[in-house]
Amino acid sequence: MRGLRRATNEVLHPWLKEELTAVIETLPPSKEVLGAEQNRAEWKSWQEGLSVKITLPEELPPLRMLLVWDNLIGHLNAELLLWMFAKGMMVLYTPLGGSWLNMNESIQRILVGRALAGEHPRQPEQIIEWLEAAACGWNRNPTPFEWGGRRALRRARARKRRHALGGSGACTRRPIRRRRSVVEEWRYASQTTH
């Protein structure tokens, strides 16, 4: 992480290209060689169901990576998108109003909390320095993220209130009273008569 006072596209895009190039270089080489039509179909398959589709260039390399990010105006830059396509990166945008899908905001909140908790910086450079230090410390022992939150907790509670039906995947909201077998009925009857 590198802190800045301002992050214009002239600053952000070269940094982003550098970081994404480093990620692409760590990926294993593409094993499957597809024909041009199959390759294009693979790229387009990631746009199925989207109301707004990115116009893909005529020539596309093998798809190497999916990049999910939000709809900031700088992320819609044609030169940057063409560079990504040339490197085999497909861009998928989070839906408008879907900021909850963007884990980056959660990471920012955590970093700010760790870096600035109880501190009172006097200069912007101090804030940048502390944020960089917090990010470096976190990168040494990163935290895996999993989807969760209130919605996931509600779903888990709802699943606990259901009762499975014979291993089929079906369930009921109320438990089904188990009937006794003929043998159990006979045993129960013989115990009560003695």
Is pLDDT at 139 greater than 90 in this prediction?
no
- Residues ≥6 apart with Cβ < 8 Å to 12: 74
The overall pTM is greater than 0.75 = no
pLDDT at 152: 77
- State the average pLDDT over residues 148-156: 77
Neighbours of 130 (CB within 10 A): 19
CA distance 95 to 99: 8
- Strand (E) or helix (H) holding 30: none
What's the mean pLDDT when you consider all of the chain?
81
Write the DSSP assignment of 96-137 as a string of letters: TT-GGG-HHHHHHHHHHHHHHTT---SSHHHHHHHHHHHHHH
Residues in the chain: 194
Condensed to tens digits (0 to 9), the pLDDT of residues 74-119 reads 777 889 999 999 999 998 887 766 655 666 677 778 888 888 888 8
Is pLDDT at 178 greater than 70 in this prediction?
no
With H, G, I as helix, E, B as strand and everything else as coil, classify residue 163: strand
Condensed to tens digits (0 to 9), the pLDDT of residues 33-86 reads 888 899 999 999 998 888 778 889 999 999 999 988 877 777 778 899 999 999
- Domain spans in the chain, listed from the N-terminal domain onward: 9-101, 103-140, 162-193
Condensed to tens digits (0 to 9), the pLDDT of residues 2-25 reads 666 666 777 778 888 999 999 999
